[in-house]
Amino acid sequence: MVALKTTNHGEPDARLVDALAGADSSTRLRAALSAGTLGDPRLAQALVARCAVEPDFFVRDMLTWALCRLPAAITVPRLLGELGSDITQARSQALHTLSKVGDRSAWPAVSTLLHDEHDEVALSAWRAAAVLVPPGKEGELAADMATALGRGDHHVQLGLSRALAALGAASAPVLDVAMASPDPRVRAHAEATQRLRRDPDSGFTLSLEMATRVAVTGLDA
């Protein structure tokens, strides 16, 4: 593990910062673990910057953990700045980390990315929004997210369904409306989401396949 230390000049340990960008993923993972263990706010910018370009899922997860170990007053402004980045991963990972930090002051910025053109960003925004939505705004959020029903592949659709299900009863009315949509993909996705909301242990894939067959053919057998 990278040595836990910082300089005496207001700058983070250059060796640790360099290790966060090391060629080997195990080196980067250890560096992120060290950063989180150390909890030095001076590492915040380096951690946020690395999130934007880190290719390894497990290292990104450790970077998020390290950022969550720092004061929200330090991390949240930097993460919000990433939401305007031209780098897709920077936006997506910042949203993911904001959802883990749980600071609702991020809600206004998060809500602007619910319809990002990139599926992974929109998916991260749905997840974050379901966590950060202010009390009483759940129905409004559900209505906004429901406009994305039918979007993307199975992975994206499952993510949206889980986010809508996390809103509980607030999502039920908009799902009922969507189940009457003229678009069979929207109808099928809404029905599968409604089943997931009512029974979290239900099989989403089977529900979606069955709902799609009914929506397209009108046959339920």
What's the rounded Cα separation, in Å, for the pair 104 and 93? 17
Q: What is the pLDDT of residues 42-78, one digit of tens each?
A: 999 999 999 999 999 999 999 999 999 999 999 999 9
What's the rounded Cα separation, in Å, for the pair 87 and 84? 9
Q: What is the pLDDT of residues 107-117, one digit of tens each?
A: 999 999 999 99
What's the rounded Cα separation, in Å, for the pair 46 and 51? 9
Q: Between residues 214 and 41, which one has the greater pLDDT? A: 41
Average pLDDT over residues 85-103: 98
- The CA distances from residue 13 to 8, 49, 193, in Å, are 9, 16, 48
Alpha helices in the chain (DSSP H): 14-20, 25-38, 44-51, 57-68, 72-82, 88-101, 107-111, 119-132, 138-146, 154-166, 172-178, 184-198, 204-217
Q: Give yes or no for a contact between 193 and 175, defined as CB atoms under 8 angstroms apart.
A: yes
Q: What is the pLDDT of residues 122-161, one digit of tens each?
A: 999 999 999 999 999 999 999 999 999 999 998 999 999 9
